[in-house]
Amino acid sequence: MIGSELSKRNKKRYWRVKDRQEESLEDHLDLRDFINLEVLYCQNNKLTSLDLSQNQKLEMVDAHGNWISANLDTFSHLTNLGTLILSSTTTAALKQEEFLDARLGLARGARDREVGKWVSLLDEDESGCYCNDFSGSLEALKNCQNLVSLSVKNQENIAGELKDLPASLEVFNCEGTVFQQELEPFENNFKFYRLTQEVRDLNLENKQLRKENQELKEKLKLAQGKLEENQQLEAKIEILPVEKNSKLK
């Protein structure tokens, strides 16, 4: 039981949950009482959900290799977060496909040497999904301004745009997601991508400034032309009374 394992809840800053090879932690993990928790290792268990709503001090969360199905909003309030690992070794869709193949293999009377593999796979989980399934938009992490490293490997239901990620991010593992193809031209190096984007933005800004400068020059030229016209008109008005007086004489 978590309460007996962590008797001094308000002083606990570091917690590592045993992996599934020893004693698995299953279902919902509620850490609201551990308000001073800074580091959480709960990888390779059978967790299905997390409650980190009161864990404002968290700096690192490693939850890879679970069965968690949740939105990225789960972490949106963790402004001190520096590392977030949500990855899986495969996608939920591929795992489901393996599971169906396992049932088909047994149904067809798979060879003896293969039966062990199929039974083992079926025993893992009735749903066939032995991996996380996070969803939502990357924009949910925009307030995590200290986030340096993020891994969403094989989280195919996460959407959004790379520009939505906090400026502090340096490492982004997005293998098996829609973002992988976008990073391929940059050798899957997020830092290189971010630098390239900054250079591009500066070039666009410089181009816009040049355009605005040219427009200002044209407006100034037009204003100067109107000023000259006004000066010429004023000069004519001043000459008129002189001509009238000369005619009267």
CATH of the domain at 176: 3.80.10.10
Q: 236 and 181, same structural domain?
A: no
- Token pair in block for residue 160: 């959004």
- Which among 146, 162, 188 is the end of a domain? 188
Inside any domain, residue 169: yes
Q: 214 and 173, same structural domain?
A: no
Q: 195 and 183, same structural domain?
A: no
Inside any domain, residue 105: no
Reported pTM: 0.64
* Structural domain total, the chain: 2
- Token pair in block for residue 101: 């193949």
Q: 171 and 74, same structural domain?
A: yes
Q: 84 and 158, same structural domain?
A: yes
Q: 208 and 159, same structural domain?
A: no
Q: Cα–chain-centroid distance for residue 39? A: 20
pLDDT band at 208 (very low <50, low <70, confident <90, very high): confident
Inside any domain, residue 68: yes
Q: 240 and 174, same structural domain?
A: no
Q: 170 and 211, same structural domain?
A: no
- Which among 163, 188, 213 is the end of a domain? 188
Q: 202 and 85, same structural domain?
A: no
Q: What are phi and psi of 184, to 5 degrees?
A: -55, -40
Q: What are phi and psi of 158, to 5 degrees?
A: -85, 130
Contact between 149 and 174 (Cβ < 8 Å): no
Cα distance between residue 223 and residue 72, in whole Å: 55
Size (the chain), residues: 249
Contact between 46 and 66 (Cβ < 8 Å): yes
| Residue of higher predicted confidence among 74 and 238 | 74
**Distances 68 to 74, 129, 156, 218, 228 between C-alpha atoms, Å:** 11, 10, 14, 61, 75
Q: Give the amino acid at 233.
A: L
Is 205's pLDDT higher than 50? yes
Inside any domain, residue 98: no
Q: 236 and 145, same structural domain?
A: no
> Could you tell me the residue range of the domain that residue 59 belongs to?
2-91+131-188
Question: What is the pLDDT averaged over residues 29-49?
Answer: 91
Q: 238 and 181, same structural domain?
A: no
Q: Give the per-residue pLDDT at 245.
A: 55
Is 154's pLDDT higher than 70? yes
Which residue in this structure is represented by tokens 């181009």?
Answer: 207
Q: Give the per-residue pLDDT at 156.
A: 92
Cα distance between residue 61 and residue 53, in whole Å: 13
Q: 28 and 52, same structural domain?
A: yes
Question: What is the pLDDT averaged over residues 220-248?
Answer: 71
